[in-house]
Structure 1
Amino acid sequence: MKYIPLGTANVSNIILGNMRISDLDDEAIRSLVRAARDAGVTAFDHADIYGRSLHECETRFAEALELSSSEREHLFIQTKCGIVKDPPYYDSSYEHIISSVEASLRALRTDYIDLLLLHRPDALVEPTEVARAFDQLRASGKVRQFGVSNHTASQIEVLKSAVEQPLVANQLQLSAAHAPLLAQGLSANIKIDQANVVDGGGLLDYCRANDITVQAWSPFQGNGHLIFDAAGFPDLSRELELLAAKYDVEPIAVATAWITRLPQPTMVVIGSTNPARVADAAKGSELPLTRREWYSLYRAAGHILP
């Protein structure tokens, strides 16, 4: 397992995502976490909206594990806030951030959250309110570090106009099949569809230049299909199989390695509830794909190299 800097922390570049654990019993959750820990995973991802009700997945995680204070210290637990589900809207107000974090702390049965992310950009954001909330949470010891999710470079800059806490992570959708973050840069100044700017422009480069760790969510999907699906991605699934045979791993490890091969600190959020699948995916943490292999997967996914 490879460990990378995330602000002031040092964490595994694989994160176990807990979006789907609400229907698992306690032993199934423990088995899932055990498989991740045995693979070297130290980071665990949550959000207040994960589950059928608010904070349900956070609650199930804490109920199943019953972490002691010493066990808690060995886990890097992050959560997210800012999405209101019913009716759907975004809320990055001071009051919402504080109340959401307080509820997450109770649900997770912990005194602190290692990393808090703003889940989605809020068109009505007031950076001074975010700054006030972050300052209070940091001063009280309830949140150690802060970041964002699905934010563009300019949206981060707006937050930084008032927020003094470093924004150390940006969780973004990225896979071999869903890679506009990379395709736009590689196709700059070329008249093809993938060169159209949909991410605010140069977002991965911005994160790299500003020491913001990228966390890749949905790392095995694109256009509604798993990238291992020969019907949806025939060339990509075939190339994944070939490289998996070469490295004696499962194709999911190669798909993971395609992301971890990026030169900037990058984490992969594994959201499976299958312990064996998590263990297989984690083997891509430091799989040494060559440049030729990395680009072969890029092309096989249908991306164009000018």
Structure 2
Amino acid sequence: MPKIIMGIESSCDETGVGLVRLHDDGAVELLADEVASSVDQHARFGGVVPEIASRAHMEAMVPTADRAFEKAGLKLSDVDAIAVTAGPGLSGALLVGVSAAKAYAAALGVPLYGVNHLAGHIAVDTLQHGPLPTPCLGLLVSGGHTQLLRIDDIASSITELGSTVDDAAGEAYDKVARVLGLPYPGGPPIDKAAKEGDPKAIAFPRGMTGPRDAKFDFSFSGLKTAVARWIEAAERRGDDIPVNDVAASFQEAVADVLTAKAVKAAKELGIDTMVISGGVAANSRLSGLAAERCEAAGITLRVPRPRLCTDNGAMIAALGAHVVAAGRPPSSLDLSANPALPVSVVSF
């Protein structure tokens, strides 16, 4: 069984290289996790520019890998298998990572595994909290994805229960931050401002919570628009914008919907463990409210530390290790990226 797994992530604006050790008992140990972000290059555009991201990945890939091997005290020749994000994500960005992984795999003569970015966000939790009980519920909340998942086997069986029908939660944070004059990306500055605000100051809507709405789907476009309209109305009246209160009230609406639907899904399915991951999982109100509601419902909550929540190579290495341990077949060297890869396809 391969022991050292190298993971490569390049689906959006972070170039990540992670190294893990797969033990004989199936445990996965994190050895190194190095990330190079191009977020500063995108900030002035208010969002990720695909061509800039692709060029940044090309420049950062080898230096990031070199740092990871130095951190782990390993050489390239120590690698037994390589896992790479093959989707979903930005097409050009994915191709940089897949091309690099193919080159490393061919040069080293080791198997290559194209894996799913979304499944990686769940698998990364095993690096901190150990094996996932099955089944478990995954709430994946990031800049591009908001999904409820049933995980029966992290290496092969993930079912989507619900997803966003428009803006993902992270996208809504970015757009609300823009109208509040806060920097990009919007998650951290809104979270910081919200701590000084009143979450009950403004009654913003909770999307997709009506009796006829899909019970496990999400919608944050209406909430984003409601915030913008509220600010426009206040400006027309000549009022000062209470940034902290707006941030707190917006954040409360997001966390309320996410946690209520996740707990409801777990209870209906009889699942007693929930994993929250993705970049927005680092949000203090989301994790805090989830902890309160999970405790009241008798559900065990697992949230990776913030560094592991955002895009990184460690999550891809971790998922690769689980795929290897499960005996899944490796990918061929003609592997291609799939920007629309569904979460049900863990590896291919």
Do they fold alike, i.e. is TM over 0.5?
A: no
Higher helix share: 2
Question: Scaled by the length of structure 1, what TM-score is found?
Answer: 0.32
Structure ranking higher on relative contact order (CA contacts 8 Å, 6+ apart)? 2
Question: Scaled by the length of structure 2, what TM-score is found?
Answer: 0.29
| Structure index of larger Rg | 2
